Amino acid sequence: MVNAISSQSLPWYTGRSLYSGLMEHLSPLHLGQQHEGGDMSNRIIPMKLVVLGEGGVGKSALSCQFIRNHFISEYDPTIENSFREQKTIDGQAYMLEIVDTAGQDEYNAMRDRYIRLGEGARFRLYLFLTSLGFVLVYSITSRVSFEKLDAFHSSIQRVREDDVYPVVLVANKSDLEADREVTTSEGISYSKKVKAAFFETSAKLRMNVDESFMQLVREVVKMKSTEGASEHTEPDTPKSTNPEKKGCCIIV
């Protein structure tokens, strides 16, 4: 549990929410908040996003495709990568840092250990607490990766407590339709459960890759503009494109 970490090791912990305490400690350096008299549109806003999911679902491929416009078919599933690039979304420049986490089973215990103990705990807390949005990824060809989404989502909840955090749910490898094990409707149902926008993507074909990350940035901006709300609004009526041609996109 996060409570096992001594507050003395967290100078920004004020006895309230861990997230709220850290946000005050970091602001405005890490959150790109507008300085008095400044023009937000003329600033490059830093934003950290974390990609979570089981090993082999294509997290690295998605991140690399979005940042570098390059598809990678081979990767080391035990390494956490960080991709950093300036992107302009809706006319605003952002310096995006995409943290691509390791996802193999043998590293799940290490992930929780980061949260519980020592220096690793401080690093993991810092990663989760300073990240403004999260991408949950599974593969449509792996029911196991879909069933493990709850564990990844819970790992965020343990750290972020009751704080609001935007999430986008990504069903990757939609180019492998013949090997599908998870239906589109199952993905949509889960996205509603966690109040996340939903995209079926193909990192290989660059299908809905940009759209999923850009939507997360928009959700972060929306969250910051309405910060202070105690809970998410109810989902709107979903709008979707034809999943057979362009993949599925549901914004809730």
On whether residue 176 sits in a domain, the answer given is yes
* Residue 158 within any structural domain of the chain: yes
Q: Is residue 165 assigned to a domain?
A: yes
Q: Which of 33-47, 156-170, 172-186 has the highest mean pLDDT?
A: 172-186
The answer to whether residue 232 sits within a structural domain is: no
**Per-residue confidence at 246, pLDDT binned at 50, 70, 90?**
low
Q: What are the backbone dihedrals phi and psi of residue 204, each rounded to the nearest 5 degrees, phi first? A: -65, -45
Q: Taking residues 83-110, report their average pLDDT.
A: 78
Question: Average of pLDDT values for 104-129?
Answer: 51
Residue linked to tokens 């599908």: 180
Q: What is the mean pLDDT of residues 67-74?
A: 87
Q: What is the rounded average pLDDT of the residues 178-192?
A: 98
- Per-residue confidence (pLDDT) for residue 241, from 0 to 100: 43
Of 1-5, 13-17, 34-38, 94-98, give the range with the top mean pLDDT: 94-98
In a domain, 5, yes or no: no
| Residue 240 pLDDT | 43
CATH number at residue 181: 3.40.50.300
Q: Is 78 among the domain residues?
A: yes
Q: What is the largest CA-CA distance in the chain?
A: 56
Asked if residue 36 has pLDDT above 60, the reply is: no
Is residue 4 situated within a structural domain? no
Total number of domains in the chain: 1
Which pLDDT belongs to residue 243?
A: 44
Q: Is the pLDDT of residue 173 over 90?
A: yes
Termini Cα distance of the chain = 31
- Residue percentage of the chain with pLDDT more than 90: 40
Any idea which of 72-86, 101-115, 131-145, 183-197 has the lowest mean pLDDT?
A: 101-115
Which pLDDT does position 80 carry in this prediction? 57
* Residue 35 pLDDT class (50, 70, 90 cuts): very low
Whether the predicted pLDDT of 116 surpasses 90: no
In a domain, 21, yes or no: yes
Domain enclosing residue 118, as ranges? 17-31+41-226+237-250
- Is the per-residue pLDDT at 46 higher than 50? yes
The most confident of the ranges 57-66, 86-95, 207-216 is 207-216
- pLDDT tens digits along 48-64: 898 999 989 999 999 99
Q: Which residue has the higher pLDDT, 163 or 48?
A: 48
Whether the pLDDT of residue 242 is over 60: the answer is no
